[in-house]
Amino acid sequence: MEYEYQSSSPDEKAFVEACRRYAIIFHGLKDGMLEITFKGKMKRYQQLHVLEFDPTRKRMSVIIKNEEGEVYLLCKGAESAILDRVIEGEKQITLQHVNEFATYGLRTLVLAQRKLSEKDIALFDAKLQDARTSLQNREEKLAEVFDFMENELHVLGATAIEDKLQEDVPKTIESLRMAGIKVWVLTGDKEETAVNISYSAGHFKQGMTELRLTKITDSIECAEAVRRHMISAENNFSQGKHNALIIDGTTLTHALYDHGDILRDLCHLCVAVLCCRMSPLQKAEVVKLIKNGKDAPVTAAIGDGANDVSMIQEAHVGLGIMGKEGRQAVRNSDYAFSKFKFLNRMLLLHGHFFYIRISTLVNYFFYKNVAFITAQLFYMFFSAFSQQSLFDSFYLMFYNITFTSLPIFLYSLFEQHTKQSTLLEQPQLYKKITRNRKLTKKYFIQWNALGLWHAVVFFFGVFLMFDGDITFYKDGKMMGNWMLGSVVYITCVLAVNIKLGLETYYWSAPIFFSYIFAFVGNVAMTSLYTGLLWPDLIISHQDFFHLFFVHVSCGPIWLCMILLIVIALLPDILIRCITDIQKTKNDSRRIDCQVYCYENATFGFDNTSEGVVST
């Protein structure tokens, strides 16, 4: 009979499937008994207790009773958590096998057992009952009971499991490095296993100088080792060599709490950092160490298991992978996806696009309100600082709600300032948006200075046109206050929408139709408002009646508006031209560099650290 096993732990599933290939078949639970076929003979076991795994103990156990009434405790876990508790069996040979497996990059576990007497079982049941019913420090008391039972073990042997890399992991890590993102690996694996996986994943590369901070149990010794490696790292860095730091959980206990600052400085001199044999809390502490640095980098943590949850929650951005180790990481993350390689597209493509969209949206909202409402400030100097408004309340209400909202809303959803293929093929473009570069004081001042310039052109241009008792109508009528405000308003609405068009590089159908809809909606709503005599209950005055139709029927006013819009947008057009020329030149340089790389097989990328991704 063929079985398809399911487990929250891929290691346990691998064990059961491997046993099946050797004629040891697990049939499952029946009538409260575990049924196992051992070389054709059925055996039944009663499961008495499960001592669940926790990252502090780094092991788990089950207590079972066989058909003869014998009770055994079966324990599996890291060799560092089990071999020290072994009193019988081939301890040294098992350790030798574990180290040998680790050099091949395999994940290792040690298996052990303990035969329990009736007295041991009775004592354990009593202690376990007391711990489980305790109202205070229940978790600590349970851990003490588990620790009490997992002693005097007889080692059975060691297992090794190949944890295959997902597709495109080396390519993804290299792309992140080229984008200026420093990658750290935080793992609970044995040192040798972690180092081999780092090389196979492209995290470590041949030629890197390995700096090891491992198996240090004294704070003073740790300080000396960190300072010694600091000097070596500085010398290597000055010579253009790449450093790779390897640190384990034991050393990290002293380094984090006693020498955190110098450890952080040492890590900044390293291209790659590997932290092995770590507990989940240590992973979170490492992320916290990075976050609190002087340069305050933005951190992202990515993981697929329950032991990654604390790290994911500590980072600025938590990323969960839907792996075979449950959904805890996904449930506690900000974003989740099925494969590690999707991180490349998420950051370098969607992250880039959304940052440009959001930064433009923020700057644009400040700009369009400065361009609009500053005219009211100028008008105060010509109205004796009275309470007279330049704009009708209808304009003030709907300027942000409808007349200028739809184009920028759809821009923030669909804009693609660069081709998708370009962003993925040239990860170094990501550096242009790091450190919030599009929302700096420089860009903020530039946008608002342009808004102020537009307000000056719109108000004083229209004001000068109205000055001198000039009329543009055949019947000789003069233009009053509301006509002045209406012309300034419509000029501003048209200009700020055209300004957004100058910022748009990707004219998709929704963006194109948003401008048409905004224009038609503006005309329709204004015509409805000014074309009807509304009841006094709705509008207290009718000064705006038919004003819009008089406005649009006057050719000189339209000519004036077009001239003012062109004058106002001249700096924006100039900025767009300069930006496009520089972009074209940079693209040409990149193409030349890529061709040179292909012909000469030599090319290097800057590894500047702008953030940290922990895995």
CATH of the domain at 224: 3.40.50.1000
Has residue 428 been placed in a domain? yes
Has residue 561 been placed in a domain? no
- What does the angle CA 11 – CA 17 – CA 18 come to, to the nearest 5 degrees? 85
Q: Which residues of 118-136 are buried (b: 16+ CB within 10 A; e: fewer)?
A: eebbeebeebbeebeeeee
Whether 443 and 504 map to the same domain: the answer is: yes
Whether 323 and 389 map to the same domain: the answer is: no
Model pLDDT for residues 121-154, shown as the tens digit of each residue: 999 989 988 988 888 888 888 888 898 899 999 9
Specify binding-site residues: 12, 53, 76, 107, 187-189, 277, 283, 304, 307-308
Is pLDDT at 466 greater than 80 in this prediction? no
H and E: helices and strands count for the chain: 23, 16
Q: Which helix (H) or strand (E) holds 107?
A: strand 107-116
Cα(514)–Cα(273) distance, rounded to whole angstroms?
Answer: 48
Is pLDDT at 496 greater than 70 in this prediction? yes
Is pLDDT at 86 greater than 80 in this prediction? yes
Has residue 592 been placed in a domain? no
List strand residue ranges (DSSP E) for 277-429, in order.
298-303, 317-321, 335-337
DSSP 479: P
Cα(580)–Cα(291) distance, rounded to whole angstroms?
Answer: 36
* Last residue of one domain, picked from the residues 340, 372, 399: 340
Has residue 143 been placed in a domain? yes
Question: What does the pLDDT read at residue 603?
Answer: 28
Question: What does the pLDDT read at residue 271?
Answer: 92
Nearest to 491 by CA among 316, 372, 319, 323: 372
* Last residue of one domain, picked from the residues 510, 537, 564: 537
pTM of the model: 0.79
**What is the span of the domain harbouring residue 532?**
346-537
Overall size of the chain counted in residues: 615
User: Is residue 610 within 8 Å of 348, Cβ to Cβ?
Assistant: no
The enclosing domain of 34 has a CATH number of 3.40.1110
Whether 328 and 224 map to the same domain: the answer is: yes
Whether 141 and 277 map to the same domain: the answer is: no
Cα(365)–Cα(405) distance, rounded to whole angstroms?
Answer: 9
* Last residue of one domain, picked from the residues 511, 537, 563: 537
Q: Is the dihedral of CA 322, 325, 330, 333 positive or negative?
A: negative
Specify binding-site residues for ATP: 12, 53, 76, 107, 187-189, 277, 283, 307-308
Has residue 49 been placed in a domain? yes
Whether 326 and 406 map to the same domain: the answer is: no
Has residue 565 been placed in a domain? no
Has residue 25 been placed in a domain? yes
Has residue 212 been placed in a domain? yes
Whether 306 and 289 map to the same domain: the answer is: yes
Specify binding-site residues for Mg(2+): 304, 308
Whether 133 and 240 map to the same domain: the answer is: no
Could you give the residue ranges of the DSSP H alpha helices within 346-392? 352-380
Whether 403 and 428 map to the same domain: the answer is: yes
Whether 18 and 37 map to the same domain: the answer is: yes
Whether 97 and 58 map to the same domain: the answer is: yes
Whether 178 and 321 map to the same domain: the answer is: yes
Question: What does the pLDDT read at residue 475?
Answer: 65
Q: For 449-478, what is the mean pLDDT?
A: 82
Whether 350 and 333 map to the same domain: the answer is: no
Number of domains in the chain: 3
Average per-residue pLDDT for the chain: 86
